[in-house]
Each structure stands twice: as C-alpha cells, then as structure tokens.
C-alpha cells in the first residue's frame, strides 16, 4: 500500500507458515487454528502500530474480507492494530472472544475506519490471556457437527447420513426428520464461509423451530420430511476462505454447471429422491449480506406458476410479528441454489439473507418467526393443493 512508504523506520517482520507472529514487547499473533485467516503481520516502530495483512485465498472474489486470528502479549496493554486488506476494503466489525464461544463486537470508540484506503485501525487490549479477533463468530465444521450431534441426542427422530465428500475429502452431511414421507422441504446452509449470521446462527434457530415440540411443528413434521444440509462448504469454513470452496469456486454460482463435489452431492441426492416421486414443496438457502436482512424470491412471472407460498408466508410474518420483510426479485436464470430448486424440482424457494451486523438475538427471533409462519402457510395451502 502506497501510504506505508512513509514509514522508513525499522520494520520487524516475522512470518511463519503456520503461526503468524509479530513480536514487540512479546506481542504474538496466531493464525494456526481452524477457521483462521491472517497472512502476515508487521510492527512499525515509528508509529507504534501493528499491521495485520489479510488476503483472500482465491481471486476473483467479492468484498467478503474475512479475518480471524488470536493475539497475546506478555504484558497487559492497549495496542494499535491496523487491518489491511490490500486491494480490498474493510467490511466486518471485529468480534472479540476469549474462548471462541462468547463473542462481543468491538466498541465503536475502539475502531477507526479509513474509507479511502479501506483499512480499519483498532485499539485492542491485549494480555497473556489469548484474545480472538474475527470478522464474524468463528464456526468451524466441528462446531456445526457437534451441534448436529447434540440434536441427534435430543431428537430421536433425526437421521444423519454422509451425503458425499467435499473437495478435501471431508464428509458432507444431510439430516432428515422422516424419510418415509413423500413430501419434503429443504434447508441448505452456509455455502459462503464468512456468512455465519444467517448461515449458522439464523439457520440453527430456523431449524430448531422446525424441530420444536409444539402443535404446528409436530403437525408439520408428520406431513413433511425436513431435509437439511447444515454446512455445505465445510472446507471453506475450516480454511477461513472469503467465499469459495477448496477448488476456488463460488458454490452459489454452480447450480447450473454442477462442476463442484459439494453441489453435485445435492443434485444427486435430489435426483434420487425425485426418482422415488418425493415432492419438494419448498427450499431455503441461508446466507448473510452487507445490506440484509432480505429474501431473494422468485420473479413475478414464475411466482404465478406456483401455488403462492411466498406471498402468503410474507403476509403471515408481517401480520403475526413486528418483522417487515424486504423481498428482492431475481431472474430464475441465475445459477443460484434456490433457482435450482425452482427450475429442476418445481419447488418454490428463497435465498434467506440476514445482515452482517444485525443483533444476534434478533437474527434468532426472526428465524423462529419465519420458520413458524412458513410451516403455517404450507399447512394451510394443503387445501388449495388438493383442489388443483
């Protein structure tokens, strides 16, 4: 970056292949854990500033400038730390944690964003106790699969199968509620690794409501199998990729070509189901956007070809909660996951987008309401369906 040419003082550079380390007063940076992303660090003596250089694993890529690393210091103190993304710009407000479970957004007074250079400079309290700094809450494949394991214990009707293998030969799981039913809905989560707000937090709350022990959920599960792919891109989540799978492909642009193992897994799974005359009533694909929350819905032409779950669902959400739904129409020609379900399986489908910095309790509450209203809408649409 041009503006660093002004720093002509001594620069200490220490780079390691696994553990990225910069030391001054024994301040150490670490990026060897699963889900980490940090390329290198430098300390500029003159400015008493650390710079964390963060780059994508693959290009081209959109502005999903994800980072995750840990910092320790021999002495307790406040350091100045610049997040530098090279040709890209800062997007995510840093989340801080001591245990990678409880996260807190950095205080507004502790971050300064340079919109010209696209950097962010933090005032970070460091100490011998390791502090994690990440773009979003870190959710590795192990985290998601441990959560699935806990659901399997508490919900005996759930069945988990290996649907296939990823590029890196990791298992890609599918979880179902009742395979003997001939109608189903589908949930796909986290094709894009940094999108944990909608892709993990929102998805889990939505799924939890579908699995809940109440009249609507029980009635729904008695009629519809719920097919969930809880983490479609585990390689990307574990490697801290900005957007891609381990072949450097954006999975949510691969639902026409099916060039990647992860999308092929889903396609062959549903080809098998449709050959058994299983009807997929609805599909949701969970993401997170800078400008979320919103839903990507069918274009108006195609909406008229369906039974109209989407408009009734949105009306139900807005009538029965404080949430207002922003829906954005997209062409059904785009190679997105939800279009695959509409075009190939005749299902109504949406891309469920939450927002980068939306309060996490709001994300959970919205997901629960949307799930409940979706079940009610599909159940009440049954009468229409029989008439058609």
Residues that bind Zn ion (CB under 5 A): 192, 195, 287
Please identify, using beta-carbon distances, which residue of 137 and 195 lies nearer to Zn ion. 195
Q: Which of 388, 372, 387 is nearest to 219 (CA)?
A: 372
Does residue 293 have a cis peptide bond before it, meaning omega lies within 30 degrees of 0?
yes
Phi/psi for 294 (5° steps) reads -165, 170
Please identify, using beta-carbon distances, which residue of 287 and 312 lies nearer to Zn ion. 287
What the block records as the tokens of 283 is 């599909």
In the complex, the smallest distance separating the C-beta of residue 38 from Zn ion, rounded to whole angstroms, is 22
In the complex, the smallest distance separating the C-beta of residue 340 from Zn ion, rounded to whole angstroms, is 15
Please identify, using beta-carbon distances, which residue of 30 and 285 lies nearer to Zn ion. 285
In the complex, the smallest distance separating the C-beta of residue 136 from Zn ion, rounded to whole angstroms, is 12
In the complex, the smallest distance separating the C-beta of residue 255 from Zn ion, rounded to whole angstroms, is 13
In the complex, the smallest distance separating the C-beta of residue 111 from Zn ion, rounded to whole angstroms, is 24
Please identify, using beta-carbon distances, which residue of 37 and 287 lies nearer to Zn ion. 287
CA distance 260 to 264: 6
Please identify, using beta-carbon distances, which residue of 194 and 316 lies nearer to Zn ion. 194
Please identify, using beta-carbon distances, which residue of 73 and 141 lies nearer to Zn ion. 141
Please identify, using beta-carbon distances, which residue of 239 and 287 lies nearer to Zn ion. 287
Q: Which residue number is nearest to Zn ion in terms of Cβ?
A: 287
In the complex, the smallest distance separating the C-beta of residue 198 from Zn ion, rounded to whole angstroms, is 8
Rounded to a whole number of angstroms, the CA Rg of the chain reads 22
First vs last Cα of the chain: how many Å apart? 63
Where would I find the beta strands (DSSP E) of the chain? 11-13, 27-30, 40-44, 49-53, 68-73, 77-84, 95-97, 104-105, 111-114, 119-126, 131-134, 159-165, 171-176, 183-189, 225-229, 279-289, 294-297, 327-329, 348-355
Please identify, using beta-carbon distances, which residue of 42 and 287 lies nearer to Zn ion. 287
Q: Which of 269, 275, 290, 243 is nearest to 340 (CA)?
A: 269
If you write DSSP's letter for every residue of 85-116 in order, what string do you get? -TTS---SPPEEESSSSS-EEPPGGGEEEETT
CA distance 216 to 219: 5
Please identify, using beta-carbon distances, which residue of 57 and 378 lies nearer to Zn ion. 57
In the complex, the smallest distance separating the C-beta of residue 125 from Zn ion, rounded to whole angstroms, is 32
In the complex, the smallest distance separating the C-beta of residue 76 from Zn ion, rounded to whole angstroms, is 39
In the complex, the smallest distance separating the C-beta of residue 98 from Zn ion, rounded to whole angstroms, is 29
Please identify, using beta-carbon distances, which residue of 40 and 233 lies nearer to Zn ion. 233
In the complex, the smallest distance separating the C-beta of residue 267 from Zn ion, rounded to whole angstroms, is 19
352 - beta bridge partners? Answer: 286, 295
Please identify, using beta-carbon distances, which residue of 70 and 296 lies nearer to Zn ion. 296
In the complex, the smallest distance separating the C-beta of residue 195 from Zn ion, rounded to whole angstroms, is 5
Helix (H, G, I), strand (E, B) or coil at 344: helix
Q: In which order are the strands placed within the sheet that holds 171-176?
A: 159-165, 171-176, 225-229, 183-189, 279-289, 348-355, 294-297, 327-329
Q: Which of 123, 242, 256, 265 is nearest to 188 (CA)?
A: 265
CA distance 107 to 95: 10
CA distance 286 to 144: 14
CA distance 327 to 297: 6
């Amino acid at each position: 970056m041009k503006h660093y040419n002004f720093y002509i003082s001594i620069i200490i550079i220490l780079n390691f292949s696994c553990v990225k380390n910069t030391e001054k007063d024994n301040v150490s940076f670490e990026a060897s854990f699963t889900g980490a992303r940090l390329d290198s660090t430098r300390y500029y003596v003159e400015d008493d500033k650390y710079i964390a250089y963060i780059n994508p694993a693959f290009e081209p890529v959109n502005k999903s400038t994800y980072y995750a690393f840990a910092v320790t210091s021999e002495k307790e103190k406040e350091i100045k730390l610049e997040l530098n993304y090279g040709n890209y710009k800062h997007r995510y407000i840093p989340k801080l944690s001591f245990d990678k479970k409880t996260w807190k957004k950095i205080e507004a007074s502790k971050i300064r964003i340079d919109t010209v250079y696209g950097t962010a400079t933090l005032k970070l309290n460091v100490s011998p106790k390791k502090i994690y700094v990440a773009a979003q809450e870190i959710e590795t494949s192990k985290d998601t699969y441990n959560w699935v394991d806990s659901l399997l214990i508490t919900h005996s009707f759930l069945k988990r199968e290996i649907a296939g293998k990823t590029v890196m030969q990791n298992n890609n799981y599918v979880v179902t509620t009742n395979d003997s039913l001939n109608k189903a809905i589908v949930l796909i989560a986290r094709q894009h690794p940094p999108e944990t707000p909608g892709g993990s937090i929102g998805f889990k709350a939505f799924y939890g409501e579908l699995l809940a022990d109440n009249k609507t959920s029980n009635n729904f599960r008695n009629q519809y199998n719920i097919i969930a792919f809880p983490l479609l891109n585990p390689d990307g989540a574990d490697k801290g990729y900005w957007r891609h799978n381990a072949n450097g492909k954006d999975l949510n642009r691969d639902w026409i070509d099916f060039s990647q193992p992860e999308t092929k897994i889903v396609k062959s799974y549903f080809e098998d189901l449709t050959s058994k005359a299983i009807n997929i009533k609805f599909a949701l694909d969970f993401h997170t956007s800078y400008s979320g929350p919103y839903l990507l819905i069918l274009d108006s032409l195609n909406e008229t070809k369906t039974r109209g779950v989407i408009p009734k669902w949105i009306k139900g959400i807005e009538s029965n909660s404080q949430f207002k739904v922003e829906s954005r129409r997209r062409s059904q020609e785009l190679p997105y996951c939800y279009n695959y379900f509409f075009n190939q399986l005749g299902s109504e489908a949406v891309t469920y987008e939450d927002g980068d910095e939306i309060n996490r309790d709001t994300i959970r509450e919205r997901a629960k309401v949307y799930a409940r209203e979706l079940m009610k809408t599909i159940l009440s649409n049954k009468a229409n369906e029989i008439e058609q």
